[in-house]
């Protein structure tokens, strides 16, 4: 996947202190549950082969592993936007949030202006 995006500089999650492992909203997500929601959504929308290529590209071009995606959702969004456009990236972000809420047993209310980080932050408040 060729993109015009610059790689995002950051440390791998394994090198961060626990207190630093947060989304841009400043809240640490339930990473296992969110990771599962991300994986399920990408598999359902893109298929296994394309999902795996996306993971490979994220790792090789942005140094983001599958396990880091709950903490690096902004990078995931940038890559999806470059590949699928704004509407495609927004649709996948909303679907990831819906799955995340369902896995937590919460009701989901769509907000047109929300990003995935906003939905994750709403769970914490």
pLDDT in tens, 62-114: 999 998 998 888 899 899 999 999 999 999 999 999 999 999 999 999 999 99
- State the DSSP code for 24: T
Backbone angles phi, psi at 23, to 5 degrees: -80, 175
Q: How far apart are CA 46 and CA 112, in angstroms?
A: 23
**Count of structural domains within the chain:** 1
Residue 50 lies in a domain: yes
Residue 99 lies in a domain: yes
The CATH number of residue 109's host domain is 1.10.1200
pLDDT tens digit sequence for 11-65: 343 443 333 444 444 434 488 899 999 999 999 999 999 999 999 999 999 999 9
Q: How far apart are CA 82 and CA 101, in angstroms?
A: 26
The structure's pTM equals: 0.74
Residue 22 lies in a domain: no
Radius of gyration from C-alpha coordinates of the chain? 14
């Amino acid at each position: 996947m060729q993109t015009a995006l610059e790689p995002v500089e950051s440390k791998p999650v394994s090198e961060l202190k626990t207190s630093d492992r947060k989304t841009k909203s400043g809240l640490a997500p339930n990473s296992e549950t969110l990771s599962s929601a991300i994986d399920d959504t990408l598999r359902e929308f893109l298929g296994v082969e394309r999902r795996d290529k996306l993971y490979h590209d994220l790792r090789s071009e942005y140094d983001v592993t599958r396990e880091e995606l709950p903490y690096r959702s902004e990078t995931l969004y940038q890559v999806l936007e470059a590949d699928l456009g704004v509407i495609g990236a927004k649709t996948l972000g909303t679907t990831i949030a819906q799955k995340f809420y369902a896995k937590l047993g919460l009701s989901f209310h769509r907000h047109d202006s929300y990003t995935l980080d906003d939905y994750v932050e709403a769970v914490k408040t």
